Structure 1
C-alpha cells in the first residue's frame, strides 16, 4: 500500500512538473524538449532527487512514447507522397546523409568509441527534429513559403531512412553477426516494402476497415493495432518504432486525420515521459567531460545542415534568401536523435554516448529556432557588405531610371 502511494505521488509529480515546464516553454515560444531532458537529469542517476518506485513505469511509458512519435510521423504522409518524394528529392536526401552523418561518425572514431558507436552517433547528428521544425515554421508564418516544400521533402526522406537505419543499429547493438544482421535488415526492408505496396494499392480498404464514427472505437482500434504491429516487429528483431511508423503510413484520409487529433494528447504525454526517461539514465556529472566535443559537433553539424538546405533549395530554383531560410530551419535536432541514442544507452555500448547526445540535442534544440529566424538576415547583410555595390551618379533622366527606388520590392 505504501509502495502504491509512493508511486502515485512520484508519477503525479512528474506529470505535473512536465505540464508546468510545457507551459513555461509555450509562454516564451521555444521547444520544451530541453526542459524535459533537464528534468530527467535532475531526478535521475546522480541528480537532486532520484526516483524510486515509478522508474519502471516511466520506462514502459517511454517505450510507448517512441512508438507514438513514429506513428504520428507516419500519419503525416501518404504512401503516394513518400514514393513521389523518393523519386524527385532523393539527391537532396543523399547530400543530407553525407554532410550530416559523417561528422558524427568521425567524432565517435576520434574519441575511440569504435565502429558501432560511430554508426549510432552518425544517426544522432543526421536526423533533424520534425516536431521542432514544424512548430518553428508555424510560429514564423512560413508554411506557405516557396522553400517550405523543400524542407518538408528532406524531413520526409530522413523519416523514411529510419525504416532502414533503425533495424541496422538494432542488429549492431544486439551484437548480431553478419548473417543475422543481414537477415534482420532483409526482413525490415521486406516488411517496409510490403506495407508501402499495401498502402498504395489497398490503403482505402484498410482505412475503411479501421474507420469509425465513434472517436472511442477509432482510438482503441488504431492504438491497439499500432502496439500489436510494434510488438510483432520487435519480436522479429525489427525496431518497434519502425512498425509504428509503417502503420501510420498505411492509414490515410479521414482515418489519419481523426487518429491524429485523438492521439496527439497521448503522444505529447508519453513523448515527454520518454525525454524524462532518457535524462533519468544520464548522470549530470558525466556531461561536463563531453561538453566541448558536443559543442564542436553541434557547431559543425549546424553548418552542414545549413549547407544542405541551401543546396536543396537552390536545386529547386528558390531565391537566395529562401535558400538561407531553408538551411537555417533544418538545424534543430530533437526527438529522433534521442531515440537513436536511447537505443545505444540501453545496450550499454559506450557510457559517454548518452551524455554527449543529451548535451548535443540541448544545444541544437535551443540554437535551431534562432538559426531559423536569423540565418537569412545575417547572411544577406554579410553578402551585401562583401559585394559593396557602387551605384553610378544619376546625371541624366535615363541614368535616374536605372537607380533602384527605395520603394522597389525586393525578391524574397
Structure 2
C-alpha cells in the first residue's frame, strides 16, 4: 500500500466522523429552531441518537476521533467565553454578583457531594458531581433572557454578573480537581500550591498580555484584514493553549485566558464577530460529541439518580442563589428572580465531566447522568424565569412580616454602605503593589534563567551578559516595588495619627527589603555567592544613582499598560452604573428616534414622573451630558435619556416610547453623579414639599426615594410633604451633595 493510500485510510474515519457530526448538528439546528427550543439541547439529543449505540441512524466509526473533536470544541468554546468574559467585567460586577455566585457554589458543592455519598458513590465521583452541579449555564441563561425580553431588568444584570464569577471559579476548580485527581488524596499543601501557581500564572499572563497584545494589534491595524485578524486571534489562542499545557494546566484554561486578554482590546467586538462562526462550528461539534458519548444503557440503569439530581438542581440552585442575593443586600423580589434564573447546569458541567473521564478518576455512569440532568434543566429554565416574579409575590405574602421587614432593612443598609476607610485603601494599594511587581519580577527571572542563560551559556561572559540584560529589564520594577509611592493622600492623612506611623514605616521597609531580596535571588542564579555579592553591591549603587531615569521608564511602562487596559472603555465611552438607584429601581438608557412624536417637547410637558413614576437622570446630546435636567429641558432627536424606575415602570415607559417610535439601546452610560442617603432631622426641610425644600436646586439632583416608617416611596411626587426622620435617597452632583450633608450635620449639631 502506498504512503498516500495509507494516509487516506488513516484520515478517512476522522473526516467521515466530522461530516456525520456536522450533518447531525445541521438537522438539530433546523428542527429546534422550528420548535423554538435551545440549540444546545438539540445538539445533545442529535448526538445521542447518532452515537454508535443505535443501529437505525448512521453511527461514528471511531469514538476516539469523536473525543478529539470534542477536545478541540472545548478549546474554541472557552476561547469564545473568554472573549465575552473580561477580567475588568469581573471587577465591575461588584459584591452582589460575587456573593451570590460564591454562596451558590459553596452550598451546591456540599449538597452535590452529600447527594453522591447518599447514593453510595465513590468520594471522587461525589466531589466531581458537587462541582458540576454548582455551575449554571451561561449559554442557556443568556438565550432564555433574550427570548423572554428580560435583559433590561435589574435582576438580569445580577445573574449575568454571577455567571461571570462562576466561569472564573469553574476555571479555578478545574485546576484544583486536576491536582486532586493526580495526587488521589486530600493534601492541603498541594491544593494551596496549585492555587498559588494558578494565581501567579494568571496574573503574569494577563499583565504581559495586556501590555503587548493590544499594542501589537494597534500598530498593525492598517495592515490587518478580517482574514489576518481571525488567523492572528486563533494563533494567539493556540499559543496560550500550549503555554498552559506546558506549565501543567488544562489547555482549555489557556484558551479562556487568551480570550479574556483579547476582550480588553479595542478590537474585541470585531474579533468576537469574526470568531463567532468558528465558535458556533466547534460548539456544535462539542455538544454533538457530548451526546454521542452518552451510553443509553447507563441512563436506564441510573434513571433514579438522574431524577434525584434533576430535582436537586431545580430545587437547591434557586434556594442557594436566592440566599446569596439576599446576603448581598438585594430585595426579596430580585433575589428570587436571580435564584430561579440560575436553576440549570450546562457547558462547564460537561467540560468538568470530560475532565474527570479523561483523567480516569470518575465512573463511566457519571458523564451520561450529568448530561441528562442538563438536558432536563435546559427545558425547565424558561419556565423557572417566568415563574420567578409570581413566586416572589407569593413569598412576599406568605413569609412572616417580621422576616420581610428585616430583609428590607438589611437591603437598605447594605446598599447604603459605600465608604472605605483610609487604612483599607492604603493596605489594598500596598498589597497590590507588592503582589503585581513580585509576580512580574519572578516571572522575568524564571524566563531569563530558563531561556536567556542557556542561550548565552557558550560565550565567555555569558552569565554576566544575561545578568546585565535581566537587571536592565527589571530595573524599573525594582524601583517601583521599593520606592514608588502609592495612596499618597491617604498615607499623608494616616501619618498625622501616631498609631499608624509605625505600620506604614514597616510596610515601606518591607517593600525595600523585598526588592533587595529579589536582586540577590537573581544574581545568585547567575553567579557564585562571592561574585553575586559584588554584583549586588554594584547594582545597588547604580540604582541609587539613576532614580529619576528609573522613575521615567516605569512611568512609560505603566502608562502604556493602563492605556491598553482602558482603551476599549475610552473609545466606547459608555459605562453602566447600577449603584445609583435605591431598592428595586434601576437605570436604563433609551434613544430618541428622529421620527419620535415627543421630540421637541419639554420634560414638564411630558409629565413622565406623574404618568409613569420615572425620573430622568441625565440627557446625553452628542458630546454634552445634561445631568439632572430641569423640567424646562427639551428632548431632541438623537438624544440619549437615562431613566430611573422599577422593572414594571421601565417596561411601561418602553411601551410608551414604542408608541411614539423610540428605539432602546442595550447598554448604558455612566453619569458624573452619585447616590447619597440623607436622614432628615433638619427643621428647615420638615413640613415642606420636595419642591419647596429646594433640594433639587441645591444638589442639581433628584429625590429618587424616601423611606418613611418602614415604607418605601420610589420616585416620589414633588408635592410630597417631608416629615421628620424621613430617609431621603438623592441622585445628584457629588460635590453639592457633600456640601448639603455637611450643612445638614452642622445644623443638627447646633440644634442639639
Name the TM-score class by shorter chain: 0.7 to 0.9
CA deviation vs aligned residue, 1:189-241 (integer Å, no higher than 9, x gap): 21112234446666743653685641111111111111121122123220111
Match of 1:191 among 190, 201, 225: 201
Q: 2:273 is matched with which residue: 254, 261, 286?
A: 261
CA–CA distance in 2 between the matches of 1:121 and 1:105? 6
The reply to whether residue 42 of structure 1 matches residue 53 of structure 2 is no
Alignment map for 1:238-257 (pairs within 5 Å):
238-251=249-262, 252-257=264-269
1:199 and 1:249 in contact (8 A); partners too: no
Within the alignment, does 1:174 sit opposite 2:185 as a pair? Answer: no
Change (3 A) 1:103 1:80: same
1:358 aligns with 2:365: no
2:18 to 2, 11, 14: 11
Distance 1:411 1:265 in 2: 34
What is the CA-CA distance between 1:14 and the residue it aligns to? 2.4
CA gap of 1:311–1:168, structure 2 versus 1, over 3 A, is: same
Instruction: Give 1 or 2: higher helix fraction.
Output: 1
Q: For 1:312 and 1:201, how far apart are their aligned partners in 2?
A: 36
Matched residue, 1:374:
387
The answer to whether the aligner puts 1:24 opposite 2:31 as a matched pair is: yes
Q: Deviations over 1:90-142 (max 9, x none)?
A: 32232111222222111222233333222211121011111111111111111
Corresponding residue for residue 404 of structure 1: none
- 1:123 maps to 131
Alpha-carbon shift at residue 30 of structure 1 (Å): 2.1
- Residue in 1 that maps onto 2:67: 59
Q: Quick check: 1:291 aligned with 2:303?
A: yes
Match of 1:281 in 2: 293
SS in 2 for 1:287: helix
2:358 alignment partner, one of 334, 346, 349: 346
Q: TM-score, normalised by structure 2?
A: 0.48
Q: Distance in 1 between matches of 2:43 and 2:295?
A: 15
Match of 2:122 in 1: 114
Residue by residue over 1:369-399, the C-alpha shift from the partner in whole angstroms, topping out at 9 and shown as x without a partner, is: 2211223224535755889xxxxxxxxxxxx
1:217 equivalent in alignment to 2:224: no
CA-based RMSD of the aligned residues comes to 3.1
Q: Which has the larger radius of gyration?
A: 2
Q: What TM-score, normalized by structure 1, do the two folds share?
A: 0.84
Q: How many angstroms apart in 2 are the aligned matches of 1:14 and 1:203? A: 35
CA contact (8 A) 2:136 2:346 kept: yes
CA distance in 1 between counterparts of 2:203 and 2:94 reads 13
2:108–2:316 CA contact under 8 A, matched in 1: yes
Moved more, 6-15 or 231-240: 6-15
Task: Assess, with a 3 A threshold, how the Cα gap between structure 1 residues 246 and 341 changes in structure 2: closer, same or farther.
Answer: same
Q: Where does structure 1 lack aligned partners over 5 or more consecutive residues?
A: 388-406
Distance in 2 between residues matched to 1:153 and 1:411, nearest whole Å: 18
Specify the SS of the correspondent of 1:238: coil
Structure richer in strand, relative to its length: 2
Which structure ranks higher in relative contact order (CA pairs < 8 Å, sequence separation ≥ 6)?
1
Tell me which of 320, 323, 326 is aligned to 2:335.
Answer: 323
Distance 1:173 1:315, change over 3 A: closer
